[in-house]
Amino acid sequence: MTVLPYLVAGWIFLIGVYGLVTSRDLIHAVGCLAVTQSSTYVLLLAVGYRNGGTAPVFADAPTDSRVVDPVVQALALTDIVVGATVTALLLALVVQLRKRHGTVDPDALSELKG
């Protein structure tokens, strides 16, 4: 339990990169990138967790309760939404590539370049 969350984050990162490397379809590759991204959220939140801590939201908790780290949560929170728009940008690029070159296979695309 003491290192499992960190190792799971590492595994998600590796499997995501594996998908990116072996992908034959750019849309699939963008999906793999989304998976890779999620590994950072798991790692950040795992680092910020404290045993017996609760969320640093004091609307329904006393202000002296033991809380988990809010800074890493704020980092992960904004990145998730911003990451989604970046995913959209990548998918838009895929649509354009498909229009110009008629394929979404990265290997076929690099052959086109020569």
Partner 1 sequence: MTDVLIVVALLLVAGAATAAVLNRDPMRQALVLSFLGLALALLFTFLQAPDVALSQLAVGSAVTPLMILLTVRKVRRRPGSGDGVDKPAGRER
Partner 2 sequence: MSPRVRLWVFLVGAAGFAALFAAACLDLPAFGTVPHPYGVRAVHAALSHHTANVIASVNFDLRAFDTLGEESILFSAVIGTVVLLRQARDEHRKDPEPATVHPPVRRFALLTLPFALLVGLYVIAHGQISPGGGFQGGVVAATALHLLYIAADYRALERVRPLTLYEIGEAAGEAAYVITGLAAVLAGSAFLANVLPFGTLATLSSGGTAMVLNAAVGLEVTSGIVVLLARFLDQAVEIEEPGEGGGSPRDTRDSGGNGDDERERA
Partner 3 sequence: MSTSDGWLAAALVPLLALVPVLWRIAYGSPGDRLIGQNLTSLLAGLVLLLAAQGFHRTSYNDVALVVSVLGPTGTLIYARFLDVLPDSRLVRWTALVGVPATVLPLCVATGPGRAMAKLLLIGVLLIAGSVVTSGRGAREGVTA
Task: Using CB under 8 A, pick the residue from 28, 73, 103, 109 that binds partner 2.
Answer: 73
Which contacts (CB < 8 Å, 24+ apart) does range 98-104 have? 104/25, 104/26, 104/27
Task: Using CB under 8 A, pick the residue from 1, 3, 4, 59 that binds partner 3.
Answer: 59
- The contacts of residue 112 (CB under 8 Å, 6+ apart) are 101, 103
Calpha distance 25→23 (Å, rounded) = 6
Q: Which residue has the tokens 């594996």?
A: 18
Task: Using CB under 8 A, pick the residue from 60, 63, 81, 85 that binds partner 3.
Answer: 60
CB of 50 to partner 1, least distance (A): 8
Q: Residue 10 corresponds to which amino acid?
A: G
In the complex, the residues that contact partner 2 under the rule CB under 8 A are 1-7, 10, 13-14, 17-18, 21-22, 46-51, 53, 55-60, 63, 67-74, 77-82, 84-86, 88-89, 91-93, 95-96, 99, 107
